[in-house]
Structure 1
Amino acid sequence: MSIRQDIVDAIKTRLADISIANGDSFDMTAARVTEWRDTPIQEDVDTHGIDIRDFQANRTSQDEDEQQWQLILELEFFEIGDASPALVRQRVQDITTALSNLDEEDFVQGAYLEDVEIDVARLKKRRISAVLITLIVHYYAEEWEI
C-alpha cells in the first residue's frame, strides 16, 4: 500500500471518530465517510456524509533517499435535512478539529486548511448544505514511492 493511501485511510478514520460521545455536535460513523464517491446522494432522505478525493500530489523537495510531498485533498461534506447554517458551521468545525489531529502516526508531517466553501440551498422542503474543504498534507516518502 502507498503512503498516500495510508494518509487517506488515516483521514477517514479521524473523520469516522466524530461523535456526540466524543463531544462533537453530531455522529459521522465510518459508513458516512467515502472515498471518491461514485453513487448519487439521495436528496429525498435526511442524511449527511463526507467524501474524500486526493486529486494531486507535488514533490516539494528531495535529498538522497527521501522526498517531501504535498498532497492536495478535497473533502466534500453534505447535509440534507433541516440543519441551520449555524449548525452546519459547527459541524464543519468538528470536521476541521478532527483533521487538525493528523500527525506522524498518520504519516503526516504537517497539514493545513487552504480553503473552506459553504453553500446552502433549498430543495422542496429540505435544506441542502454542501461544504468543500481543501486540505494540504505534507509527508515524506522514499524515492519512487508515493
Structure 2
Amino acid sequence: MYDPQLAAAAGMHNGSLLTPQEKPAPPPPKPDNTSSAQAQPVSGSRNDAGESQQALLTPVVPDVGPDDLRGLSPERVRALLGGPVSVAEEPPATVWQYRTGSCAADLFFYLDITSQELRVVTLAIRGAEDTEKARKACLADIRARNRNGGRS
C-alpha cells in the first residue's frame, strides 16, 4: 500500500530517496506604503506569532503502518519513530528494537546493494493481538512514546 503523503514525509518519491535541495532566497520585502494611522493593531505577542508560524510549518505525518516502513533508511525511520531502545548486529542484518508497555517492534535493516545504504527489509511487531489494526496501534504507541521523551 503506497501512500504518497507518507512517502513524501519520509523523503521518498516513487521508491527513490529525495535529496535535499538548496532553498531559493526569499523575495525582498515589499515597501510599506501604509501610514501609521492605517496600520492595524496586532493582537498577541511576538512569541505567539512565532508559535503560530511554527505550528503552520510543522509537517503533519499520517499514521504509519508496517508496510510504510519497508525500504526506509535508518535516518527516515528515526524521523518517523524516534530512536530505538536497542540496536543489535545480527549479520547480515542490523536490528532496531522498539518497545512500549504493550508491544515490541523489531526492524531488520539490510544493505541495499544499489545505494550502498541500509534499508528496512522486514519487521516483526509483537503484541496482544496479531492484526493489522494492532500493528498500526503499536507503531502509534512507539511514536507517542518518543514524542513524550520516552514516556508512554
TM-score, length-scaled by structure 1: 0.28
Structure number with greater CO (CA < 8 Å, separation at least 6) is 1
Q: Please state which structure has a larger fraction of its residues in strand.
A: 1
Q: Which has the larger radius of gyration?
A: 2
